[in-house]
Structure 1
Amino acid sequence: MTAPWGPGRLPPRPNTLVGREDTLLIASRLLSDRRIRLLTLRGPGGIGKTRLALDLAYRLGPDFEGGAVWVSLAEVRAPSEVVPAIAQALRVPSQACADLLAHLESRSLLLVLDNFEHLTPAASEVAALAAGAPQLRLLVTSRAALHVRGEHELPLGPLPVPGPLESGPVGPAAQLFVDCARKVDIFS
């Protein structure tokens, strides 16, 4: 039986990943590099950062002893709440950064922090976790870079749209639209 969605568990995939296959491969390679501990998927809202991060978590989670842990930060209001949110997702009783680091320092884990853009003052604590836990990989989605030591950015742009001479829904953007439209059954 699949565990229900909750803190630390991966949310279900809402749809098929469309048009990001090359980016998925690049990000997978970066996160598999032992020298890269912090990767930020950066781009404007609605571009697909969360969707790509979710596919990366499903794809790479099995490569880590502790799997992948998802931390949604959308409802977190203050930078001081980031470490407690991570601790809760990891089921660490203490919410102190030092205790969280002690818990993580020998664990092989992919930690996904989703929607970080409004919490950038907490970036130094995230960087400290990445620096202090050599087997930890952090994947962050954000509209802005964290601007911390050790961060690698992977900017995401819009999906390509069909050119003016192409007929019919061609290309990833159009395919995503058609896939989403079928889910709400507007073509029936």
Structure 2
Amino acid sequence: MKSSVTTKVVLGVLVVLMAVSVANAVTINVPGDYSTVVDAVKAANTGDEIIVAENTYVESETIRFATPGVTLTGSGNVTLRTLDSNQAVIQLAGFVTGIVLNNLTVDRPTCNDSWMRCINMDNSASATINDCTLAGPANGVGLILFWGSDATLNRCHFSNFNPAASWSAAIFMQNHSPTSPYTDLIVDSCT
């Protein structure tokens, strides 16, 4: 009997904590709340959604997700770019999970070497990418998954990646060790 009461109390506390976490989620607007996507992503907490207004954003640094469970959504035609000197337009730090990218064009119109990429996922990161276009220079990479990162791609489009060029691919998976998980990749209705 006492065990049943304790279990109910613990479950009740967990439900309240989960509700508080969801209730604290906010919507961040770019350029309304932050002038750059980089600053909005840095400010975001787990559960937050960043809505990016229609425009082309050339960020001075890589858009780096270090907080799990953040959603980045384009409203209208949103193109994200970075300086040629940055290796990736978007990067998910190692072990950052639950990132969602919606309705974005991630573009690398030029780059200074063949290792440049649109989206870079490190060490067991995970993301769901919906209705996005990854476009780049002929010698770049659209999406690269390192060391057991997982991605689900829905209705995405890849363009201008030359399979004959060194280190060039729409999707590139690299590295695995006995201590890292295998990469899971789900691709649905992508071109």
Q: TM-score, normalised on structure 1?
A: 0.29
Q: Tell me which of the two structures has the higher relative contact order, counting C-alpha pairs closer than 8 angstroms and 6 or more residues apart.
A: 1
Q: Greater share of strand residues, 1 or 2?
A: 2
Q: Greater share of helix residues, 1 or 2?
A: 1
Larger Rg: 2
